[in-house]
Chains A and B, each alone.
Chain A
Amino acid sequence: NAGVTQTPKFQVLKTGQSMTLQCAQDMNHEYMSWYRQDPGMGLRLIHYSVGAGITDQGEVPNGYNVSRSTTEDFPLRLLSAAPSQTSVYFCASSYSRGNEQYFGPGTRLTVT
């Protein structure tokens, strides 16, 4: 049982480049979400999914796309990276709304 896995752990992009942050969980959780963590701002919800084929926007969705074709995977896409997207990104999953979220190890992204 690997829990929530994220790849890559570190990434440097140039402005305008695109990339996909991968997230997978093997706990058969319906709920999955993406957060970004910036100094002094806690974690902010980017996008979330309540099941395969169902996604919705969180607090800070601009510049990011998501899809959920399977229960296990929830990739986050940056279509045209900007320096403002420099952050640490966390993927999380939970069995239901009220249950704890299990977090991945995070991806540190730097956009130059």
Chain B
Amino acid sequence: AQTVTQSQPEMSVQEAETVTLSCTYDTSESDYYLFWYKQPPSRQMILVIRQEAYKQQNATENRFSVNFQKAAKSFSLKISDSQLGDAAMYFCAYRSAISGTYKYIFGTGTRLKVLA
């Protein structure tokens, strides 16, 4: 069975600095999708970034980028120029691409604090 592990329950970063949140996963599948979601105190889940496993190029969205290492089964999120509004819980998620399945597995989350 697939698993997603976020080994950092909490991280802190100074405003304007860079922080990296780690995520590892375990799967025997070759095709899948990976996501990072942000959950601010409002509780609303918001997509940060998405990566397709068959694409070697790392996804980027403005200040957010990922380091996708398929062989190592690692999917870390880098936040550059951290802002106070980045403070939130961040969840890594795995989604199988196998037709007929709907496995969507979330990690336990990393709480990011941004220090002014």
Contact = CB atoms under 8 A, between A and B. Distances in A.
Nearest to B42: A105
Contact of A105 (B44, B50, B104): B44
A48 interface: yes
B91 A42 contact: yes
B109 A42 contact: yes
Contact of B102 (A44, A56, A106): A56
Interface centre among A58, A88, A101 (most CB of B within 10 A): A101
Interface residues of B, number: 23
Given A42-B107, A44-B106, A48-B102, A98 B52 contact: yes
- Which among B35, B97, B102, B105 has the greatest number of chain A C-beta atoms within 10 A? B102
Nearest to B48: A100
Contact of A88 (B43, B47, B96): B43
B33 interface: yes
B109 A97 contact: no
A53 interface: no
Contacts of B96: 97
Nearest to A88: B43
Interface string A23-36: 00000000101010
B45 interface: yes
26 contacts: A33-B102, A40-B108, A42-B4, A42-B91, A42-B106, A42-B107, A42-B108, A42-B109, A43-B106, A44-B106, A45-B104, A45-B105, A50-B102, A58-B102, A92-B45, A97-B96, A97-B97, A97-B102, A98-B52, A98-B97, A100-B50, A101-B104, A105-B43, A105-B44, A106-B43, A106-B44
Interface of A: 31, 33, 35, 40-45, 48, 50, 56, 58, 88, 90, 92, 97-98, 100-101, 103, 105-106
